[in-house]
Amino acid sequence: MFRKLVAIEPVSLVPAAEKRLYDLAEEVVLYDDVPTDDATIASRIGDADAVLLSYTSQLRRAALERCPDVRYIGMCCSLYAPESANVDIRYAASRGIVVKGIRDYGDEGVVEYVVSELVRLLHGFGGESWEAVPREITGLKAGIVGLGKSGGMIADAMRFFGAKVSYFARNEKPQAAEKGYRFRPLDALLAENEVIFCCLNKNVVLLHDAQFEALGERKILFNTGLSPAWDEAPLRRWLEGDNRLCCDTVGALGGEALLAHPHVRCMRVSTGRTQQAFDRLSEKVLANLTDYLAEHERA
């Protein structure tokens, strides 16, 4: 059992899961607002040995240095790599602090958004149709950039509706070939497909000047990541053509500057934040906590 567990900000646990925290620590402190600086974060952590946070705060070295009792940090959000994390994982590791994050809890809602928005564009539901005659996804050439969990689910959804799917990833994936998905170099993928889905980790940028040149005209680009997958200048030039950019959050768009652009469709909401996603997030956060305690109690 932890001596003291502190959630330094709202962490989106469902009520039943939040209640279970009290079985894992002698003292539990939950804050309902987002701290504004390192000093506030350090003050909230105090002498706690376990910390929870979501994606809206940065837990940096400057705060952790003031909190010598911390031995566990639970990220109630996605953790892919130290470079994209909102916790200074390398400093934590140097102190022997265990950092656990979660993955794959909101992908289903993102896939539903992609299908919904693409259908609206192709058919003209709620606006002008992408083409003179409404069309189906059937036969559409769809390219996936990043075939991780969410990219793979989008690829499967496109395949279900009859699209011709190809992808680019760091490595070819045998399971993708078994489904008929073709691996293509990035520039070839961009040139050959009508719709591109960027499904990349946070802060990964693959679309530069050359890639937008390869992408060309009369294309639809989706970004389902947490941050832009492109350099802003070539994106802006590309948007001046007959092209469309679709994303759910302002963060995925890169800020508010392009919200009013006539070729941008931004929902301004995280489509992965569904009731089911909160259920999955809660169970994974609790599993990380209990696994850590079980392991260290055995030790």
Output the average pLDDT for the chain: 95
Which H or E run includes 52?
strand 50-53
| Spatial contact of 74 and 52, defined as CB atoms under 8 Å apart | yes
Percentage of the chain modeled with pLDDT above 70: 99
d(CA 138, CA 141): 9
Share of the chain above pLDDT 90, in %: 88
Which structure tokens are listed for 22?
């009290």
Mean pLDDT of 65-73: 97
**pLDDT tens digits, residue range 73-127?**
999 988 877 887 899 999 999 999 999 999 888 899 999 999 999 999 999 998 8
Give the pLDDT mean for 222-239: 96
Average pLDDT of the residues in 24-43: 96
Report DSSP letters for 251-280, one per residue: HHHTSSTTTT-TTEEE-SS-TT--HHHHHH
Give the distance from CA 100 to its chain's centroid: 16
Q: What would the mean pLDDT of 45-55 be, rounded to a whole number? A: 96
Q: pLDDT by residue (tens digit) across 166-212?
A: 999 999 999 999 999 999 999 999 999 999 999 998 889 999 999 99
Burial of 178 (0-12, 13-18, 19+ CB in 10 A): exposed
Q: What is the pLDDT of residues 137-152, one digit of tens each?
A: 999 999 999 999 999 9
pLDDT for residue 80: 78
How far is residue 74's CA from residue 2's CA, in Å, rounded to a whole number?
13
- The SS3 call for residue 298 is helix
User: Which pLDDT does position 34 carry in this prediction?
Assistant: 96
Residue 78 is predicted with a pLDDT of: 84
Q: Annotate 4-50 with DSSP letters as a single string.
A: EEEESS-----HHHHHHGGGTEEEEEE--S---SHHHHHHHHTT-SE
**Which residue has 């990035």 as its token pair?**
186
E-strand ranges in 83-133 read 98-102
The mean pLDDT value for 49-54 works out to 96
> Mean pLDDT over residues 41-65, rounded?
96
**For position 105, what pLDDT does the model report?**
87
Predicted confidence (pLDDT) at residue 297 exceeds the cutoff of 80: no
Instruction: Classify the phi-psi angles of 12: left when phi > 0, otherwise alpha if psi is within -120 to 50, otherwise beta.
Output: left
> Using 50, 70 and 90 to split pLDDT, how confident is the model at 298?
low
CA distance 67 to 46: 6
Q: Identify the pLDDT of residue 229.
A: 97
Per DSSP, the three-state class of 145 is: strand
Tell me the C-alpha distance between 120 and 123, whole Å.
5
